[in-house]
Structure formats: structure tokens, C-alpha cells
Amino acid sequence: MDDESPGLGLDLPEEVKKPDDETHYRVLARKYRPQTFAELIGQDAMVQTLGNAIERGRIAHAFLLTGVRGVGKTSTARLVAKALNCIGPDGQGGPTINPCGVCEPCRAIAEGRHIDVIEMDAASHTGVDDVREIIEAVRYASVSARYKIYIIDEVHMLSKSAFNALLKTLEEPPAHVKFLFATTEVNKVPVTVLSRCQRFDLRRIPSEKLAEHFANVARAEGVDVEEEALQAIATAAEGSARDGLSILDQAIAHGEGRVTADQVRDMLGQADRGRVRRLLETLLSGQVAETIAQLDEAHSLGIDPGSLIRGLMESLHAVTRAKAGAGADLLQSAEEREHGAELAARLSWGNLHRLWQLLLKGLEDVRIAPDPQEAATMALLRLIHAAEMPDPSQLAAMLAGGAAPTVTPSSAPPAPTASPSATALIPSDFPALVDAVERQGKQLLGVQLRDHVGLVSFAPGEIILKPLKPLGAEFARELAAAAKQVTGQSWEVRLTDEGGSPSLQQQEVMAEERMRAAVLEEPNVKALLDEFPDATLETIDRKEA
């Protein structure tokens, strides 16, 4: 066999060239790990406290660093090790909050090769034998550093016996030993350990600081990233610098030399929010058949039913934030924000809370059901029909008047239209008309009539209203059509900016406050509250009142 022929399994493979530091790619989260306290973002209070302690020689023997993932716990522990062992460029320096980074201890610690700085992962070294090795080793002086430092990451993973074995050494360690613990679950660390450590709670990094940090990283990498994309990444990072850098790393690979906000949303799985918006609109309009069709379509595309319901909850939460006047989620597109503002104007607080609770219950049903798709379908159908039920105040009024509440499913045909001569069907006042409109299944129109308008005048065939909140351009036409469907006669609906009473919802609140004040003024109630000053009036039984 000549030299050119392939081997038969005994030949040695060609030598593979190993990547060196220049060619081997390092992810951004490792490449831009802070090397000084000045580079540690969002933890100014902790840095100041440590700086003062080092400057005054009040250095604790054990530190506990807590916080969510990616805020810099392990990085801070390494920085503390450098600060305590730095000897300066001339070799004569002492502990400092600004380690030089060029002396041998600083470089060795940064590269993870210092013999006196021992890092241990408690997740994989949980037993008492691992702790015994530490206990035996602390008796010996450091080899070359000022302090022998033990960094134990995820310390809450140590077993109970391991913690107990460490207690005595942790309370009275030799002067040359320092312990640095890091954990994401400080509640799992025994109190006996907490009491022996100086604790620092690392905070979530504010999104504006993260966005600024990511912008600096992008410039250093020579990548053009839109400002809105940086904000979206910072929001998705949830206060974690490491998570944000991982997302930025992925976004750079996802794009083609430029990272846009749309690319980030698409990468994070936000591109299919249009499907969720359409489903939410279908639910609110009470279209049973269309809801089932959209669920079946999502199922055929492989979309998890639980994810779909969580998406509905996220959309509803965004609507609630818009109604409360809070800032919009930066992961939302302009179209989503506009849609949220529109729904916020249409839905009352009561509707939002009820929808949220129904979706929350549906999510739990999906989690425990044998068939998640079936559970999701039943949950959303329950939401549609529950939305058609009268609220408690309407139900109480119906029962007090001896009328049985009637629910007309959205998929059922409309009730027969009364003839114009059937004047008995004409509501006697505006609240009665609102009740009749809602009984026809027009819940969103009912919400607007109760919450968003004040009555100026009401007469058979004519309604004059004052808008208290923005209304759709088709509001007057929709109300006229609904009133005609209910009564069988034509109605003229006019809007004006003058006069007008408070909305029906405001009137209910004022009536409730008057009733509450009257109850509190009742002599027996006042005597009871005087006897029990901590007691409060929680609810009022209207019948008893």
C-alpha cells in the first residue's frame, strides 16, 4: 500500500490543530467578565462598603454574596480575592479596592491558577468529606499569597452534615484564611452559617445600566445594534448581565452585521404574538366556533397549549399596565402597544381581573390534565361564557327585582326582534337599557356604557351621552343598532362635551361609599369599633344594611 492510500484503521489520524487564545472564540459573557470593581455594574453600595472595610482594615473573615443568576456573585468573589492579595506593580502594595491587575497574584487569580485561591462548586461537592478537606487545609499557611481564600459557589447545595462540619472553622478560622460564599437561594443556607458571615445582597441590574453596558460591548465587538434592540435585550435579561450578554451574543449571530429590534423579538419567540392578539380579540368578541378553530390551528402547528395561555396572560397583563398608565413592555412592537391601549380603553378593571383569574385557572388545568389541548379548549370556552354572565351587582339587582338572569351564548342566534308597537319592551331608563344590551351578549359595549360615558338625557328613541374616556369612531352607530335590536324601534345617539352625570360605575362607587359611611355612623357599629379599635369594616350585606 503506497503512502497515498487510506489507512485500514491502524494509521494515526492527522494531527488536529488546537485552537489557541487568538483563534478560539469566547462567548461575550466570559470575554467581558468584570476584572475590576469599576467594571462591576449596578452594585455601587456593595463596592463602597467593601472599599471602606479594606481601607480601614476591617475585613471580615467570611462573606456571603446573594442574588439572582448573572448579577456578578462569582465575579465579585474573585475581585475580592484580587483586592485582598494584590501587591501592586512594585510588589509592595497592600489590600486595595482597586487591584492593579498586573502583579502576579492579580494575573494568577484572573486566570484561575492561583494556588491559594481555591474555588469549589458546592453543587458537585455536597458531602461532608469535601468540607473535611477544607478543614484540614486551612491549618496550613498560604503558599505565596497574603490570604488563602476559599470561594464556594452555590453554597446552599451543601448537605446538612457538611454545613455542621464547617461551622466551627467558619466561626474561628486562622487569620490567613477568608471564606467567600455565593448563592442564589439564601433561604436554604442555615441561620448558623448566615450569622457567621458578612452578607451582601447583589441587586438586579437596572435595565438602563444593562442597555448602556451592552452598547459598550457591541461597540467593542464592532457590531451595529439598534438602541431599541439593546433595550429589548436588557428587558429580556431581567437584571442579569450574563443572561443579557448571552442574548446579545445570539442576536449578533442571528443577524447579518446589524442587530435590529425586530430580529431580537423574532429570536426571543415574540414574532407569533400576532396569533395571540387575534385569539384574545376572538375571545372578547365571544366567537366560540372561531376560538376552537384558532386553537386547532395552533395545535396543528405544534404550539404548546400552555404557552398559548401564557401568551394570553402576557397580553392581558400588558393591557392592564396600559390601563394603569404604566410604561409599555419594550419587547412589544408599536402595533402591540397600540392594540393594548385600545383594549385598555374598552375593558373595565372588573373585566380584566376576571379574565386574569380565569386564565390562571385554565393554565393550572392545562398543567394537570391528561390532554392539555382539551383542557385549553375547555378553559377558553369557560372564559367566553363566564364573560357573558352578569357581574355580582347586576345579579343582585336581578334577584332583588324577582327576575331570573338570562345568558345568551355568543354562538346562539339573536333574540327575536320586537315590533315597533311593542312599547313595553322599551327600557324605562338608561341603566335598564344598559342591562338589556348586555343581556344580548354585547359585553364590550356594556363596559363602555357603564364606565366610559355620562348620561346627559334619555328619552324613548333618543340618547345623549358625554364621553368620559376615548370611544371608538363607530360607538354611536353600534349603540343605536344595539338599542334597536333590544327595543324594536330606531334610536338616535348623540355625543356632546357639555353636561352629563357621572358614569354608572362611578355612581355605584359613590353609592357604596354612602352606604359604608351610614353603616359606620350606626350607634351599634360605632360602639363595636370603639371596643375593638383594630377591627375594620370589610363587607356590607346590602339586605341587612
CATH number at residue 400: 3.30.300
Res. 512: pLDDT tops 60: yes
- Give the Cα separation of 182 and 133 in Å (integer): 19
Looking at residues 295-320, what average pLDDT do you find?
86
Say which range, 59-73, 102-116, 264-278, 354-368, has the weakest mean pLDDT. 264-278
The torsion angles phi and psi of 149, rounded to 5 degrees, stand at -120, 130
Is residue 334 assigned to a domain?
yes
Cβ–Cβ under 8 Å, residues 372 and 378: no
pLDDT of residue 414: 40
pLDDT of residue 86: 92
- Computed over every residue of the chain, the mean pLDDT equals 81
pLDDT of residue 378: 92
Is residue 415 assigned to a domain?
no
pLDDT of residue 283: 87
Is residue 16 assigned to a domain?
no
Res. 497: pLDDT tops 50: yes
Counting beta carbons within 10 angstroms of the beta carbon of residue 180, is it exposed (0 to 12), middle (13 to 18) or buried (19 or more)? buried
Same domain, 170 and 188: yes
**Which residues lie below 8 Å from residue 471, measured CB to CB, with a gap of 6+?**
345, 448, 452, 453, 495
pLDDT of residue 178: 93
Say which range, 29-33, 334-338, 358-362, has the weakest mean pLDDT. 334-338
Looking at residues 294-299, what average pLDDT do you find?
87
What are the cell numbers at 226? 439598534
pLDDT of residue 409: 41
Which residue among 222, 250, 267 closes a domain?
A: 267
Same domain, 114 and 43: yes
Q: SS in 3 state form for 202-253?
A: CCCCCHHHHHHHHHHHHHHHCCEECHHHHHHHHHHHCCCHHHHHHHHHHHHH
pLDDT digits (tens, 9 = 90+) for 166-223: 998 998 889 999 999 999 999 999 999 999 999 998 888 888 888 899 999 999 888 8
Q: Which residue has the cell 372561531?
A: 290
Res. 9: pLDDT tops 70: no
pLDDT of residue 7: 45
**Which residues lie below 8 Å from residue 350, measured CB to CB, with a gap of 6+?**
391
Is residue 22 assigned to a domain?
no
What are the cell numbers at 197? 458571615
Same domain, 313 and 450: no
Which pairing describes strands 62-66 and 117-121: parallel, antiparallel, or unpaired?
A: unpaired
Res. 26: pLDDT tops 90: no
pLDDT of residue 333: 60
Say which range, 226-230, 353-357, 361-365, 533-537, has the weakest mean pLDDT. 533-537
Which residue among 241, 267, 293 closes a domain?
A: 267
Q: Which residue has the cell 452594585?
A: 43
What are the cell numbers at 433? 337599557
pLDDT of residue 271: 47
Is residue 397 assigned to a domain?
yes
Same domain, 74 and 179: yes
Q: Enter the pTM of the model.
A: 0.56
- 49-to-271, 415, 525 alpha-carbon distances in Å: 44, 73, 54
- Give the Cα separation of 95 and 86 in Å (integer): 6
Same domain, 102 and 231: no
Same domain, 312 and 356: yes
Sequential DSSP letters for 76-136: HHHHHHHHHH---TTS-----SS--S-SHHHHHHHTT--TTEEEEETTT--SHHHHHHHHH
Same domain, 511 and 531: yes
Res. 43: pLDDT tops 70: yes
- Give the Cα separation of 224 and 290 in Å (integer): 43
- Give the Cα separation of 21 and 4 in Å (integer): 34
pLDDT of residue 55: 84
Strand arrangement, sheet containing 198-201: 117-121, 148-153, 177-183, 62-66, 198-201
Say which range, 254-268, 302-316, 469-483, has the weakest mean pLDDT. 254-268
User: What is the chain's length?
Assistant: 545
User: What angle is formed at CA 514 by the lines to CA 510 and CA 516, rounded to 5 degrees?
Assistant: 115
Task: Name the amino acid, one letter, at 118.
Answer: I
With the C-alpha atoms ordered 510, 515, 521, 526, is the resulting torsion angle positive or negative?
negative
Res. 524: pLDDT tops 80: no
Which uninterrupted H or E stretch holds 41? none
pLDDT of residue 151: 93
- Give the Cα separation of 147 and 54 in Å (integer): 13
Binned at pLDDT 50, 70 and 90, residue 66 comes out as very high
Looking at residues 488-511, what average pLDDT do you find?
85
Same domain, 178 and 43: yes
pLDDT of residue 539: 66
Number of H helices, E strands in the chain: 23, 10
Task: Report the percentage of the chain scoring pLDDT > 70.
Answer: 83
**Which residues lie below 8 Å from residue 348, measured CB to CB, with a gap of 6+?**
447, 450, 451, 505
Domain count, the chain: 5
pLDDT digits (tens, 9 = 90+) for 404-455: 444 444 333 343 343 333 333 778 888 888 888 888 878 888 888 888 888 9
Binned at pLDDT 50, 70 and 90, residue 331 comes out as low
Is residue 17 assigned to a domain?
no
The domain of 333 spans 273-388
Same domain, 47 and 195: yes
Same domain, 363 and 438: no
Binned at pLDDT 50, 70 and 90, residue 125 comes out as confident
Is residue 21 assigned to a domain?
no
pLDDT digits (tens, 9 = 90+) for 349-364: 878 888 888 899 999 9
pLDDT of residue 541: 61
Which pairing describes strands 224-225 and 258-259: parallel, antiparallel, or unpaired?
A: parallel
For residue 434, give the 3-state DSSP assignment.
helix
pLDDT of residue 327: 66
Q: Which residues of 78-99 are buried (b: 16+ CB within 10 A; e: fewer)?
A: bbbbbbbbbbeeeeeeebbbeb
Same domain, 489 and 396: yes
- Reference 182, options 45, 60, 59, 63; nearest CA is 63
Res. 287: pLDDT tops 90: no
- Give the Cα separation of 276 and 63 in Å (integer): 47
Same domain, 248 and 218: yes
Cβ–Cβ under 8 Å, residues 230 and 94: no
- Give the Cα separation of 372 and 304 in Å (integer): 8
Which residue among 201, 222, 253 closes a domain?
A: 201
